[in-house]
Structure 1
Amino acid sequence: MTASDNREDERYIVLNRPDMWRRGLMAGLRELPEGGLALSEKPVYAAHSVYAPIKLPPGEEPVDFAVGLGPTLYLLREGGRRLDLYDVAAGRWFDMLDFVVSGLQGATRLAYRDGMLYLAAGTGERRLGAISELTGQLVWTADASGDRTGRPWPHASGEASNEPLDWRAGAMAVDWREGSLYVLDRLQRRMLQLDATGRAVRVFGREELDDAQPSAIAVSAAGDVYVLDGLHRRVHRFREGLEKGRFGIPLAAPAGLAADADGVVYVGESRPLSDGAEEDRYIHRYGTLGEPLGPLPGYRGPAHKLFIGESGDLYAWNREQSAIVPLQRRSVLAGGGSGQLIEGYYFSAALDSTEAAMRWHKLVLDASVPDNAQLEVSWLYGEHKRLELQGAVRDLDAYLADSSIDPSVKAIALNALDWSEARLNPRDMLLSGIGGRYIWLRIRFIASGDRSPELRSVTAWCPRQSYLRYMPAVYSEDQNGRDFLERYLSLFETFLSASERTIDRIARWFDADAVSGEYLRWLAGWLHVAYDENWPEEKLRRLLGEIPALYRIRGTREGLLRIIELYTGERPFIVETFQLRCAASAEVRETFVRLFGEDPYRFTVLLKTGQAGEESERRTVRRLIEDDKPAHTAASLVPLQPWIYLDRHTYLGVNTYLSRPSSAMEETGGAVIGQDTLLTDDGKSGFVQGKSSVGLDTVLI
């Protein structure tokens, strides 16, 4: 983007938008969410900084676990009669439920999603059930031959079968994104997919898993379903019921399977160790296509089950030590280890001055550079875009945009060009050299710690117009002296040019449509506008826009009505004393006096029901009234209430309504529900002797 600041035709080009960064080459860098560039990061799992390994309590043999929000760990024991709850943050175990009374017995598998616990039993009529985490009530069940509605399971083709489908859950997993529940049927060697309400969606994987021994499943954030085949030591990948690939796992006894948000697949080991042998079992990582990514550095030992919760943390179950180990997911700078130097490059596309032989002036960087990090900036001039690259003359911008060339190969070729001497951590730097129409920038990001330098924008100024032009001509005659003096004066130019630009553009700070945040409120203070600090900016901006018109009618009835309407969104009522002369009797007059008083210099502002409902809003309305009313008058503020109260502020058609039952109600002998009555049910399941809806959130068994 090229613009002018109206100072002797000086122009600048800014790199600060994602589309502009992407025209160049980012090698080892990432885009920041708030805009800008930083060194690439990679996710790692390491010992949790807050949560210690969870020792399982004595009792029946644990058979499965799941992790909910909080985080909360749920442990299922042998026989499915007991579920233990562990508050991970507090470090305490609690007995939770007894499934003898729940109607689902013999549960062997457990899963969790969004306040619902899913349990699967290996035998019995009811094979699957959903339990409310909040109430412990059974919400729905699915039996051995059909889904919760009694319909038969569909075939792999999606058509229903009339034949009973006996199935036995070997593992379960949930899709955090869509809410689907996947059950691994180890009896029939297939996958069953249900929605969050227990209705069958599809059956798949029968042919692909026909000769397998599937033992674990996992679902990635992208919706891929992974199945671990312990017999052939391989992983199958499915999407929407179709196999998309498979890859081998060179482990003696693979066990446990998980997939993270980046599509990395994690597989544990369960082979036994001989006495005295050194621990060499790890959690191994694989890419989506099966490429090995090495073991997980933060964990050593067997992992009989792996689970990644909605928060992204990984939990590994070590049966030998009867413990579940939480591993925290965090991001570290990619490409380096302890004490290693991490670097990345940004090569910009050509910045075009549109003029030949342009002598570029300076670069201004908006960047933050932490300790143990730095930015190195160098540049390259050219009158045209064709330069010699790898022994051939190529258009440099076309080369940067060529997606068929690996970025690392591009970086090597571009680094071989004749770049200027690098400047270290510049904020505002002069560009030396004879110049050219185009300029390319090379910015090297370097870090040796755990924090990356962040570059938010780069501004290139041209043509060269330094403070040397204000000096007598004698100071420019000697080239060496000219260069030194120009660099020396650039220090003062850096300090003063920012102030000059601020002064040049100061008018925009007085435009309510152009400013925001603290500047908008500062402008309101200049205009002595009474406003609430909690006002949204759009409301305050609208008020400031009408201030000239409001000041012309300030102190009048219409002015007060309008300013309160701008704040509350509704026009209030104003009752002045002279309007009460219409009283038809002494009794009515007495009521008027009690409600509004008889001071001829007092008036009353009536707010409609719901208008300025919070006390803080009513305080703002009172302040608006005090600032806007004539000095010799007094005012009362009355918020109207939505009920009938005789001899008080009750106004028909404003805050009080008379109604009668509708004809439909009269015919059926029904009742009228009052205006202020709200019927709602935001619960997820029923309560015994409490709210429940048979067929919706409660099942009778």
Structure 2
Amino acid sequence: MRRAARFFSFNKPADWHNGRMANMSVRSSGISIERTDKYSVYKSVHSYEIDGADEVADFAVGPGSKLYVLDTRAGLWVHDYENRHTEPLFSPGHQLFTNRSYLAAEGDCLYMADPGGDNRISSVAPSNGQLLWTARRWNGIELYPLAAAADKGRHLYTVVPLDPAGGSPDSAEVPAGSRIAVLQWNSSGEVVRVFEHETMRLDSAASVRDLCGRFSLVSAGEGEPVLLDSVRKTVTRFGRYGEDPAVTRTVQTGTPAGVAVDAEGAVYVGDGSREGSSEDERFIFQYAASGECTAKVSGYRSRVDKLLHDRKNRIYALDREKGVITLLELQSRTMTLADAGLPEAWYVSGELDSVEEETEWHKIELLADIPEETQIRFTCFATDDRYGVLEGEVVDYSEYFGNPDIPLARKWKASRHLWSEPIVNPRDALLMNAKGRYLWYRLELAGSERTAPVVSRLRVHFPRQSPIVHLPSIYQEDPGGSKFLERFLALFGTFFAEMEEKIDKISSTFDPDGVAGPYLTWLSRWLALDIAESWDEPKLRTLMKRAPELYKLRGTRQGLSQMLHIYTGVEPFIVEQHQLKHMQESSELRQMFTRLYGDNPYCFCVMLPPECVRSDKQRMMVENIIEDQQPAYAEGRLVILQPWMHADMHTYIGINTVLSEPTLLTLDRQSSMPHGTVLIDVDRDKRIDIHTRLELDSGLE
């Protein structure tokens, strides 16, 4: 007696969790290689793309896709990198600040910190270039700003020496042991907080010019400045209220330059090494809030002179040598396997028990998405015994392959003789020489940096079912020929199996909830629902389920109302002539009702709010529904109700017109005009709360 065919199916997350995996994620859509978000180059802005500008000296990030760019001629430009549009904010030769300025921006605030100009710190309105405030001294100290940043509260932060010896910007000296502090300025130009610490004192004397470029500054959130000292290779992070800072020593090679902080608090530090150093080792390094170096931004390998991070989680890196501002954004990338360092993953199943000795396993069916440059490899082995000898010891195969303490390479080397030859990208493949009660299989997924295969379903069929048994015995006697014939006939076996499966599930194709797309529209035609061809799928399914009851109501007011409610989601307002008969007896109202509803006793009006008919296509569909559902002797007219207050128009209280409580007329959020004010009195001019006529004897300024 021929045994019934069976199969093990893996298509739900719970199915896959019974096995062992590495670098693999399990989702409702299937299994695939783990993915992570990594920074990659989104766009590069070159100096020559900024019309009229010279080489880039500094920049700040503005709203939207705007950059504020300072060039080497001290010109300040507003550049929209998405639309490649540039406008000058300050043309070269303005003499308001020099090309040594540091820019900082947030919202509608733009700041310049200039160690070499007359206005050491300036606030400018970026919309028109209006100078809002400037500062040269603070608490009797000459200011020589060495870095600048802005936070979400539109505060400005500047790094300044608190003990300068004075002099011109080119000759000013800062003695050894001098304090370096971060000043917090509000939007009015006042210093509201000073951040300093003993670790920020200078070890040796230096000129202001030598100190320029040594420090980088950024604000973490609102009120938490983070300072990078590229000489000491330290990052100092202050709390919001100036408490003792956390000091982190950076360990990357090269020269630390530029600092940025993302929304999660991670700190990014660039490498300011000059051209000619090992470019392969120049990265942007990521540090956790604890100070541990957690990752490299390998998508950027160039010099960094300044780093910024915006609210869209993008990183901006300036390379002055190349004159390029590079934008990096988080993009999904395939993770690499720890042992191999390649974008790969593997899965080993638990034992599949057929419950019968010497079972011949038939085939596998794999439903998977395999993009170009990716691969799936399938191998298996079968045995009648769960136990075997590996590395000189008797082991349980399932426990051995599931043991996380045994290195992956060691497992595969020790069990190499057990596994079959790999089947590459199998869709439907016979399992040759797989005989035994138990079967284990292994899936190896190989991806690329950006893409990876996804396995949605895997079926392992058993026992062996071959059409060769239906042929005369002479075709089964030759061992060599029968193997080939068995593989050849397996193709037709697959076709027959797929056909039988479709026949078994044919009833599901008649279920509106079981089909979608063009097939759902085709199925609706079985119910003569031609008017619903362009309906979206949820509405069409509802209509198909309710079609039997709607057919009984066709040609009635109730049927039309329900049909329109399914399509628009709103209960329509239907007016028939017999409802108006007693009101038309008055000659004064007859003319108005005729204009609104007509005088044809076989005509009715269907009224809907304007949000239900936003386009010509929707209006046409509503009119088709009315025409299809109206009685043969009647004619329906569509009226779109507008929100107005004309008493002789289509105005219906509670439908398209609302009477609300009187409210105050509020002016500039401070002054109000009482609702009892009537603006008509001629005798008492310009007096609010007394009869006043606006634009006749009074005005609002």
> Which residue of structure 2 aligns with residue 670 of structure 1?
674
Structure 1 residues 655 and 405, CA, compared in 2 at 3 Å: closer, same or farther?
Answer: same
Which whole-Å deviations, capped at 9, do the CAs of 1:460-493 have from their partners, x for residues lacking one? 2332252427615735566555543332222112
Residue 363 of structure 2 contacts residue 460 of structure 2 at CA under 8 Å; is this kept in 1? Answer: yes
Which whole-Å deviations, capped at 9, do the CAs of 1:229-275 have from their partners, x for residues lacking one? 22223456789986385332443x4433457899794522255x8xx
Residue 76 of structure 2 contacts residue 89 of structure 2 at CA under 8 Å; is this kept in 1? Answer: yes
**Alignment-mate amino acid for residue 572 of structure 1:** P
> Which residue of structure 2 aligns with residue 303 of structure 1?
304
Which whole-Å deviations, capped at 9, do the CAs of 1:335-360 have from their partners, x for residues lacking one? 79xxx996634122315346354543
> Which residue of structure 2 aligns with residue 13 of structure 1?
9
Structure 1 residues 40 and 598, CA, compared in 2 at 3 Å: closer, same or farther?
Answer: closer
Alignment of 1:262-301 (within 5 A): 265-270=268-273, 283-286=282-285, 288=287, 299=301
Alignment of 1:144-183 (within 5 A): 170-171=146-147, 183=157
What is the root-mean-square deviation of aligned Cα atoms in Å? 5.5
Q: Which deviates the most, 203-212 or 61-70?
A: 203-212
SS at match of 1:96: strand
Structure 1 residues 293 and 550, CA, compared in 2 at 3 Å: closer, same or farther?
Answer: closer
Residue 233 of structure 1 contacts residue 249 of structure 1 at CA under 8 Å; is this kept in 2? Answer: no
**Alignment-mate amino acid for residue 504 of structure 1:** D
Answering whether residue 123 of structure 2 is matched by residue 119 of structure 1, we say no
Deviation at 1:439? 3.2
* d(CA) in 2 for partners of 1:166, 1:404: 64
Deviation at 1:560? 0.9
* d(CA) in 2 for partners of 1:375, 1:280: 37
> Which residue of structure 2 aligns with residue 496 of structure 1?
496
Answering whether residue 207 of structure 2 is matched by residue 206 of structure 1, we say no
Structure 1 residues 594 and 45, CA, compared in 2 at 3 Å: closer, same or farther?
Answer: closer
Runs of 5+ consecutive residues of structure 2 not aligned to the other structure = 162-178, 204-210, 667-671, 678-701
SS at match of 2:632: coil
> Which residue of structure 2 aligns with residue 66 of structure 1?
60
> Which residue of structure 1 aligns with residue 553 of structure 2?
553
Q: Give aligned-pair identity as a percent.
A: 29
> Which residue of structure 2 aligns with residue 564 of structure 1?
564
Deviation at 1:378? 0.9
Answering whether residue 251 of structure 2 is matched by residue 248 of structure 1, we say yes
Structure 1 residues 220 and 305, CA, compared in 2 at 3 Å: closer, same or farther?
Answer: same
Answering whether residue 102 of structure 2 is matched by residue 109 of structure 1, we say yes
Alignment of 1:584-623 (within 5 A): 584-608=585-609, 610-623=611-624
Residue 82 of structure 1 contacts residue 99 of structure 1 at CA under 8 Å; is this kept in 2? Answer: yes
Residue 266 of structure 1 contacts residue 283 of structure 1 at CA under 8 Å; is this kept in 2? Answer: no
TM-score after normalising by structure 2: 0.70
* d(CA) in 2 for partners of 1:436, 1:181: 74
Residue 304 of structure 1 contacts residue 319 of structure 1 at CA under 8 Å; is this kept in 2? Answer: yes
* d(CA) in 2 for partners of 1:201, 1:382: 77
Structure 1 residues 425 and 270, CA, compared in 2 at 3 Å: closer, same or farther?
Answer: closer
**Alignment-mate amino acid for residue 102 of structure 2:** R
SS at match of 1:502: helix
Deviation at 1:62? 6.3
Deviation at 1:564? 1.3
* d(CA) in 1 for partners of 2:524, 2:392: 64
Deviation at 1:494? 2.4
> Which residue of structure 1 aligns with residue 512 of structure 2?
512
> Which residue of structure 1 aligns with residue 169 of structure 2?
none
Residue 238 of structure 1 contacts residue 245 of structure 1 at CA under 8 Å; is this kept in 2? Answer: no
SS at match of 1:84: strand
Alignment of 1:415-564 (within 5 A): 416=416, 418-446=418-446, 454-468=453-467, 471-472=470-471, 474=473, 476=476, 480-529=480-529, 536-564=536-564
> Which residue of structure 2 aligns with residue 693 of structure 1?
none
SS at match of 1:420: coil
**Alignment-mate amino acid for residue 243 of structure 1:** A
Deviation at 1:227? 4.7
Query: Which one has the largest radius of gyration?
Result: 2
Residue 343 of structure 2 contacts residue 449 of structure 2 at CA under 8 Å; is this kept in 1? Answer: no
Which whole-Å deviations, capped at 9, do the CAs of 1:595-644 have from their partners, x for residues lacking one? 32333332221224644344433322111111212233211111122223
Aligned length: 627
* d(CA) in 1 for partners of 2:521, 2:285: 54
Q: Which deviates the most, 189-198 or 253-262?
A: 189-198
**Alignment-mate amino acid for residue 457 of structure 1:** S
Deviation at 1:139? 10
SS at match of 2:512: coil
SS at match of 1:637: strand
Residue among 31, 37, 40 paired with 2:32: 37
SS at match of 1:599: coil
Deviation at 1:65? 0.7
> Which residue of structure 2 aligns with residue 84 of structure 1?
77
Answering whether residue 66 of structure 2 is matched by residue 75 of structure 1, we say no
> Which residue of structure 2 aligns with residue 697 of structure 1?
none
TM-score after normalising by structure 1: 0.70
SS at match of 1:366: strand
Alignment of 1:676-691 (within 5 A): none
* d(CA) in 2 for partners of 1:283, 1:561: 70
Structure 1 residues 586 and 87, CA, compared in 2 at 3 Å: closer, same or farther?
Answer: closer
Structure 1 residues 174 and 420, CA, compared in 2 at 3 Å: closer, same or farther?
Answer: farther
Residue 359 of structure 1 contacts residue 462 of structure 1 at CA under 8 Å; is this kept in 2? Answer: no
Structure 1 residues 64 and 637, CA, compared in 2 at 3 Å: closer, same or farther?
Answer: same
Structure 1 residues 370 and 659, CA, compared in 2 at 3 Å: closer, same or farther?
Answer: closer
Deviation at 1:590? 3.5
* d(CA) in 2 for partners of 1:356, 1:484: 26
* d(CA) in 2 for partners of 1:225, 1:402: 47
Residue 145 of structure 2 contacts residue 160 of structure 2 at CA under 8 Å; is this kept in 1? Answer: yes
> Which residue of structure 1 aligns with residue 230 of structure 2?
230
**Alignment-mate amino acid for residue 206 of structure 1:** H
Structure 1 residues 9 and 364, CA, compared in 2 at 3 Å: closer, same or farther?
Answer: closer
Structure 1 residues 111 and 553, CA, compared in 2 at 3 Å: closer, same or farther?
Answer: same
> Which residue of structure 2 aligns with residue 362 of structure 1?
363
Structure 1 residues 136 and 580, CA, compared in 2 at 3 Å: closer, same or farther?
Answer: farther
Which whole-Å deviations, capped at 9, do the CAs of 1:287-310 have from their partners, x for residues lacking one? 64766988968655x532244566
Structure 1 residues 536 and 164, CA, compared in 2 at 3 Å: closer, same or farther?
Answer: farther
* d(CA) in 1 for partners of 2:442, 2:238: 43
Deviation at 1:364? 1.6
> Which residue of structure 1 aligns with residue 641 of structure 2?
640
**Alignment-mate amino acid for residue 636 of structure 1:** R
Which whole-Å deviations, capped at 9, do the CAs of 1:210-237 have from their partners, x for residues lacking one? 668971256899x999753222234567
Answering whether residue 96 of structure 2 is matched by residue 94 of structure 1, we say no
Which whole-Å deviations, capped at 9, do the CAs of 1:129-179 have from their partners, x for residues lacking one? 98776677899999999xxxxxxxxxxxxxxxxx9999986445678xx99
**Alignment-mate amino acid for residue 570 of structure 2:** E
SS at match of 1:581: coil
SS at match of 1:606: strand
Which whole-Å deviations, capped at 9, do the CAs of 1:493-518 have from their partners, x for residues lacking one? 22332232222112222223334444
Deviation at 1:93? 3.8
**Alignment-mate amino acid for residue 21 of structure 2:** L
Residue 173 of structure 1 contacts residue 182 of structure 1 at CA under 8 Å; is this kept in 2? Answer: yes
* d(CA) in 2 for partners of 1:536, 1:648: 34
Which whole-Å deviations, capped at 9, do the CAs of 1:42-101 have from their partners, x for residues lacking one? 95757x78755557788899653124566433124699x963122335555421269999
**Alignment-mate amino acid for residue 604 of structure 1:** C
> Which residue of structure 1 aligns with residue 681 of structure 2?
none
Residue 367 of structure 1 contacts residue 455 of structure 1 at CA under 8 Å; is this kept in 2? Answer: yes
* d(CA) in 2 for partners of 1:215, 1:396: 59
Answering whether residue 22 of structure 2 is matched by residue 26 of structure 1, we say yes
SS at match of 1:570: coil
